[in-house]
Amino acid sequence: MLRAMNEANSDVWTGGLTNDLSQVLLSEAQIAARVGQLGRQLAADYVEKDPLLVGILSGSFPFIADLVRAMNLALEVDFMAVSSYGDRTSSSGVVRILKDLNTSIAGRHVIVVEDIVDTGLTLHYLYENLRTRQPASLKVCALLDKREARKREVEVDYVGFHCPNEFVVGYGLDYRGRYRNLPFIGVLRPEVYRKAE
Ligand code: PRP
């Protein structure tokens, strides 16, 4: 698998970061194809609605960048940064807003863009927080949905892929701030995060 991964991604991705992965879960091509589909679906659903896409930093940055470029309609983008995990590998349930929106969402059609919904704690908090600001509509688009890990029931309206209950990194997803720049999504070897615990 690793050999296939390295061949598929040329010299740039041999060794180094990829040695820490046990497998490729989603290739660059698979991600691009699905993000294109999601973008076209959203564009069709939001015709003449001037949607505001809210990217949740930091993990969503590659996803939202690709998603909006697949949406052929007028839209706006804003960002929020929240902290839930710190440097740990499991959720504490504590969510803090580190950076709020620059714009009011009252009366706007809002789409929250997440890289992954895991326990659902972050999204539950965000959804309730944004709902009080009286948007015209509030939907959620997540690239990965790790349903098995849910602690809070949350609705994800647009899902890229269902995600197995593994520690995944790449395409914005990190472990201790690293691996976000991988153009594909892979499974982190347990020994990488276990040795740091
Ligand atoms: C990740 C992800 C979601 C959240 C999902 O962010 O981007 O915001 O965790 O997990 P949950 O469903 O268990 O709440 P993280 O806090 O790791 O920050 P990051 O995006 O900066 O990596």
Q: Is the pLDDT of residue 197 over 70?
A: no
84 lines ligand 1 (CB under 6 A): yes
Q: Say if strands 109-117 and 137-145 run parallel, antiparallel, or are unpaired.
A: parallel
pLDDT for res 11: 45
CA–centroid distance, 57 to ligand 1, in Å, is: 8
Range with lowest mean pLDDT among 13-17, 48-52, 108-112: 13-17
99 alpha carbon – ligand 1 mean position (Å) = 14
Taking residue 159's Cβ as centre, other Cβ atoms within 10 Å add up to: 17
Look up the pTM and report it. 0.91
Q: Using 50, 70 and 90 to split pLDDT, how confident is the model at 10?
A: very low
Digit-coded pLDDT (tens) for 68-108: 999 999 999 999 999 875 544 555 667 889 999 999 999 99
Of the candidates 66, 115, 118, 174, the residue annotated as catalytic is: 118
Is 157 in the active site? no
- With beta carbons less than 8 A apart as the criterion, state whether 56 and 82 touch: yes
Q: What is the pLDDT of residue 58?
A: 95
Taking only Cα atoms into account, the Rg of the chain, rounded to an integer number of angstroms, comes to 17
Nearest to 85 by CA among 115, 128, 110, 61: 115
Task: Please write the tens of the pLDDT for every residue from 128-174.
Answer: 999 999 999 999 999 999 999 999 999 999 999 999 999 999 999 99
Atom of ligand 1 nearest to the CA of 86: 16
**pLDDT one-digit tens code per residue, 23-73:** 999 999 999 999 999 999 999 999 999 999 999 999 999 999 999 999 999
Domains and CATH numbers, the chain: 29-163 (3.40.50.2020)
